[in-house]
Amino acid sequence: MTTGADSPYSDAVMDHFRRPRNVGELDDADGVGTAGADTCGDVMRIWIRVRDDRIEDIRYKCRGCPTAIACGSAVTELAKGRHIDEADAITADTVETELGGLSDEKRHCSNLGAEAMAEAIWDYTHRCISADDRDGESQDV
């Protein structure tokens, strides 16, 4: 069901846009990811806190269109509580499906959420590897 025959937005997009979940920042984030859309200049940033390989908490901020705001809300809801590998498997298609489909013009907005999510996980993984390297160096001394 959509908001109306003339609306390009599904009910799910409108719900996430009007009541976005997980908006804000995490001061103690374990990973931060940013993605931008060259075509429109919209930007999204996602913060994740990871405990026992699960995304314990997640926040996002978006400077963008209503669909991008909805995609940020949807991708953070999809990732929250998931194992880091499951969250890493979230794609733009996953986000689009969660939102009940997007118009051709708005399809790139779902990339923004998925890419920012992937960047946050990459940042988390990179920090873990760097910490492991530091631990290894200290053991060698």
Residues of this chain that bind ligand FES (CB under 6 A): 37, 40, 42, 64-65, 67-68, 106, 108-109, 112
Give the shortest CB-67-to-ligand FES separation in angstroms.
5
Tell me how crowded residue 62 is: count the other CB atoms within 10 A of its CB.
24
- Give all strands of the β-sheet with 43-51 in edge-to-edge order: 31-36, 43-51, 54-63
- Contact (CB, 8 A) for 10 and 99: yes
Please tell me whether residue 8 adopts helix, strand or coil conformation: coil
Give the shortest CB-135-to-ligand FES separation in angstroms.
40
Which is nearer to ligand FES, 33 or 64 (by Cβ)?
Answer: 64
Q: Which residue is nearest to ligand FES (CB)?
A: 40
Which is nearer to ligand FES, 40 or 128 (by Cβ)?
Answer: 40
Torsion of CA 97, 85, 78, 38, to 10 degrees: -70
Which is nearer to ligand FES, 23 or 37 (by Cβ)?
Answer: 37
